A and B are shown apart, each in its own frame.
Chain A
């Protein structure tokens, strides 16, 4: 009974291609590089750039699942505490005689369990908001870390363990290789798989998703567990770089991560944003911090600059959406 033909091939449009927030982030990175190299003659060489990269990449692993969580209109502010708890458990386990490889496994397991517990609470008690649930577990996980280690530090890891934080494969830092590898995987999973499509669907309309047969609870559980697991990976790199750990490590990491995700163009209203944007935002904030450090900008001013950058980016991305909406809902 069809009477019309409906177009299903979209013409490529340069305008649409360049009207993506990701280009803005790339321009920002170029601007920051230009600024950094004019500030310090030592910046623009391979060693200092890789050095800089290694210092800010550890927490960036959490950005991947946080993008998924925020697209689902949820949030997880317990990730910093998860880093601390899994790091402390790893160190204590090793010092209690557990082989290092096994201690790392335990670290990953603890992280995943922390995330799974968040997901479980959210799925089981639907009336609770993610902010409150993960605020509670943020305090809880940090508290457990303090109970285990009190205010001591724990370290003395085998030599090879420092490879995670300091090691190179050829001339490329190991952490960068792993980060880029995971970045490719996460980009593909979010944009090209059923799982990724379901994440966007849940963030856009959870009820319609359920009516369409999307297993909403299962997707949430998986993504929150992933957040815990990635926090544990951060714990491994962070502990390796520092050589020892304390219960107060990774303080405020959750806020840094959320800032990177927001700068990446992921809307807190859910359903919108791309993994690539957040990945670029990691480098924007990372190199900006490093560059300002080069010219000895005090830490307080650094916070002011990043805060302002965030306000601008959030305003711009939201205005952009509002403009689109206005056009679409007219009539």
Chain B
């Protein structure tokens, strides 16, 4: 038995035009939780695909339990006990938990050559129980929460006797409490001798869980440290390659007159009695637990799903917004939470993405002026500092943070007075995060009214002038930045929950 269950050395993987991995190394000890960190585009995803056999490296050696091996495909890696669990769980939503766990290696009754359902259900139940879950294995996958689906995925990995489990940003879509559950399960797995590679953007995941951390940057291996030995700042320098002196920019915005007011806004089953206002030059943070109705409120203000009751006033006049076209025309813009599904057309060029919401400006009687369109796109892409050489690059070729910048640039093409940012830094690396914060503050300084919905407490506290907290569809507290603390926010975010139980 060697100390290292998995060793990779000198791994290089090239794609046409890019070196996604450049001579990287990695060692995983038996029974440890090893965090893998790095900015988007650092090569983590490609590296995982090499370990799971999806990609074959151009150079380098992989040693599993001391023996050199090569994987022809994901099935090989799976057979050797390597399993991966992704942030976006890939499963069969209409099938039961049991079917999902045993997909591809169903238990067969030797005599009848039929599937042995009884045994499969029993074993699935045992697996789930070993993970501390009381779910009925006959439940349909689609009714489970993301956290529960991940537990099923872990059970699936265990059912094929996984010795190495790779978790790719598993906590990204989880609440704090759910994350805590996941931590416990992960630790239990480690204690049973499973080795775990844990990928996350959240520092707290790493501190809470990992024994060691490896950092990649720009397709290269930077280093491996014991978690107890590395400081926050050192880790950021390792990941970003430079010091980020200040994650949050100096606030230069000045709050002016009121621009938007909501009076008792409500949408059946989603939110109720929301009364709040927004000023020019102000950043209003809206926070709360997942499912508190924050996105629903913002989407109602933007006309995606119109509100049922109450009134909205824009610059003092009562308005009605039935669709996003109306909202944009009035001057209300919305940066959706899910940029890939709701904002960008990934297979399009950056240029066309930036101009989609404002084509009327580059056209005469409906005919496009493509030269003008190109110029505006260039100007805005430069303004938000998209890391690309040309506005003709496809949006899909950009990292998450730069895709987000393109989404922001798209908002800036229209003549807006209010911008709603819904989770603006979700899935974005720390370098891009600080750039997006700077953009938000600059926009407020130039007179936009900004609403920022976010689940990240430091972000809400670091940027907002006022903070509104929602819980179960209601506004439970509005406070100025100076009086706000993490504790107060959390308390307000759980107010209703406590009252109910």
Q: A8-B391, A212-B324, A213-B327 are in contact. List 5 more A-B contacts (CB 8 A).
A: A6-B378, A193-B368, A197-B352, A201-B356, A331-B20
Does the CB pair B368–A211 fall under 8 Å? no
Does the CB pair A6–B382 fall under 8 Å? yes
Binds A, one of B121-129, B132-140, B158-166, B341-349: B341-349
Does the CB pair A194–B360 fall under 8 Å? yes
Greatest chain B CB density within 10 A among A10, A198, A330 is at: A330
Interface size on A, residues (CB 8 A): 34
Residues of A near any B CB (own CB < 8 A): 1-10, 192-195, 197-198, 201, 204-205, 207-215, 271, 327-331
Q: Evaluate whether A213 and B325 lie within 8 angstroms (CB atoms) in the complex, with A1-B385, A6-B386 already known.
A: yes
Binds A, one of B25-33, B222-230, B392-400, B489-497: B392-400
- Interface flags, B306-334, vs A, CB<8A=1, else 0: 00000000000000000111011100001
Does the CB pair A211–B20 fall under 8 Å? no
Greatest chain B CB density within 10 A among A2, A5, A212 is at: A212
User: How far is B397's CA from A96's CA once the two chains are assembled, in angstroms?
Assistant: 63
- Which residue of the partner chain, among A6, A208, A213, A327, contacts B391 with CB atoms under 8 Å? A6
Q: How far is the CB of A194 from chain B (nearest CB, A)?
A: 4
A-B contacts, 7 of them at CB < 8 A, read A4-B382, A8-B351, A8-B374, A192-B368, A194-B363, A205-B344, A327-B17
Chain B residues with CB under 8 A of A205: 341, 344-346
Does the CB pair B391–A7 fall under 8 Å? yes
- The answer to whether the Cβ of B461 comes within 8 Å of any Cβ in the partner chain is no
- Interface flags, B461-489, vs A, CB<8A=1, else 0: 00000000000000000000000000000
Interface size on B, residues (CB 8 A): 60
Does the CB pair B342–A213 fall under 8 Å? no
Chain A residues with CB under 8 A of B427: none
Q: How far is the CB of B498 from chain A (nearest CB, A)?
A: 35
Which are the 7 A-B pairs with shortest beta-carbon distances? A330-B15, A8-B378, A2-B382, A7-B390, A212-B357, A331-B20, A194-B359
Q: Evaluate whether A8 and B390 lie within 8 angstroms (CB atoms) in the complex, with A192-B367, A193-B368, A215-B325 already known.
A: yes
> Which residues of chain B from 380 to 420 have any CB-CB distance to chain A below 8 Å in the complex?
381-383, 385-392, 394, 396-397, 410, 414
Chain A residues with CB under 8 A of B348: 204
Q: How far is the CB of A242 from chain B (nearest CB, A)?
A: 38
Does the CB pair A211–B334 fall under 8 Å? yes
User: How far is B172's CA from A236's CA once the two chains are assembled, in angstroms?
Assistant: 60
Q: Evaluate whether A331 and B374 lie within 8 angstroms (CB atoms) in the complex, with A201-B356, A213-B328 already known.
A: no
Chain B residues with CB under 8 A of A1: 383, 385, 438, 442
Does the CB pair A5–B382 fall under 8 Å? yes
User: How far is B387's CA from A247's CA once the two chains are assembled, in angstroms?
Assistant: 61
Q: How far is the CB of A267 from chain B (nearest CB, A)?
A: 11
Q: How far is the CB of A323 from chain B (nearest CB, A)?
A: 10
Does the CB pair B347–A330 fall under 8 Å? no
- The answer to whether the Cβ of B293 comes within 8 Å of any Cβ in the partner chain is no
Does the CB pair B382–A210 fall under 8 Å? no
Q: How far is the CB of A223 from chain B (nearest CB, A)?
A: 15
Q: How far is the CB of B394 from chain A (nearest CB, A)?
A: 6
Does the CB pair A209–B46 fall under 8 Å? no
- Which residue of the partner chain, among B347, B351, B390, B397, contacts A271 with CB atoms under 8 Å? B347
- The answer to whether the Cβ of B104 comes within 8 Å of any Cβ in the partner chain is no
Residues of B near any A CB (own CB < 8 A): 15-18, 20, 41, 43, 45-46, 302, 304, 323-325, 327-329, 334, 336, 341-348, 351-352, 356-357, 359-360, 363, 366-368, 370, 374-375, 377-378, 381-383, 385-392, 394, 396-397, 410, 414, 438, 442
In this complex, what residue of A is CB-closest to B356? A212
User: How far is B357's CA from A213's CA once the two chains are assembled, in angstroms?
Assistant: 6
Does the CB pair B46–A331 fall under 8 Å? yes
User: How far is B476's CA from A254's CA once the two chains are assembled, in angstroms?
Assistant: 58
Does the CB pair A194–B368 fall under 8 Å? yes
- Which residue of the partner chain, among B334, B388, B442, contacts A6 with CB atoms under 8 Å? B388
Chain A residues with CB under 8 A of B366: 193-195
User: How far is B391's CA from A31's CA once the two chains are assembled, in angstroms?
Assistant: 39
Q: Evaluate whether A207 and B342 lie within 8 angstroms (CB atoms) in the complex, with A4-B385, A6-B381 already known.
A: yes
Does the CB pair B345–A208 fall under 8 Å? yes
Chain A residues with CB under 8 A of B342: 207-208, 211
Does the CB pair A328–B356 fall under 8 Å? no
Does the CB pair A215–B385 fall under 8 Å? no
User: How far is B45's CA from A204's CA once the two chains are assembled, in angstroms?
Assistant: 25
Chain A residues with CB under 8 A of B390: 6-8, 10
Q: Evaluate whether A197 and B359 lie within 8 angstroms (CB atoms) in the complex, with A2-B383, A208-B345, A329-B396 already known.
A: yes
Q: How far is the CB of A71 from chain B (nearest CB, A)?
A: 13
In this complex, what residue of A is CB-closest to B219? A331
User: How far is B386's CA from A4's CA once the two chains are assembled, in angstroms?
Assistant: 9
Q: How far is the CB of A116 from chain B (nearest CB, A)?
A: 20
User: How far is B325's CA from A204's CA once the two chains are assembled, in angstroms?
Assistant: 19
Does the CB pair B343–A208 fall under 8 Å? yes
Chain A residues with CB under 8 A of B16: 327, 330
Chain A residues with CB under 8 A of B387: 4
Chain B residues with CB under 8 A of A8: 351, 374-375, 377-378, 390-392
Greatest chain B CB density within 10 A among A2, A211, A328 is at: A211
In this complex, what residue of B is CB-closest to A191? B368
User: How far is B375's CA from A331's CA once the two chains are assembled, in angstroms?
Assistant: 29
Q: How far is the CB of B167 from chain A (nearest CB, A)?
A: 21
User: How far is B159's CA from A298's CA once the two chains are assembled, in angstroms?
Assistant: 60
In this complex, what residue of A is CB-closest to B19? A331
Greatest chain B CB density within 10 A among A3, A8, A204, A210 is at: A8
Q: Evaluate whether A209 and B323 lie within 8 angstroms (CB atoms) in the complex, with A9-B374, A193-B368, A330-B18 already known.
A: no
User: How far is B303's CA from A210's CA once the two chains are assembled, in angstroms?
Assistant: 10
Does the CB pair A327–B15 fall under 8 Å? yes
Does the CB pair B392–A204 fall under 8 Å? no
Does the CB pair B304–A2 fall under 8 Å? no
Chain A residues with CB under 8 A of B346: 205
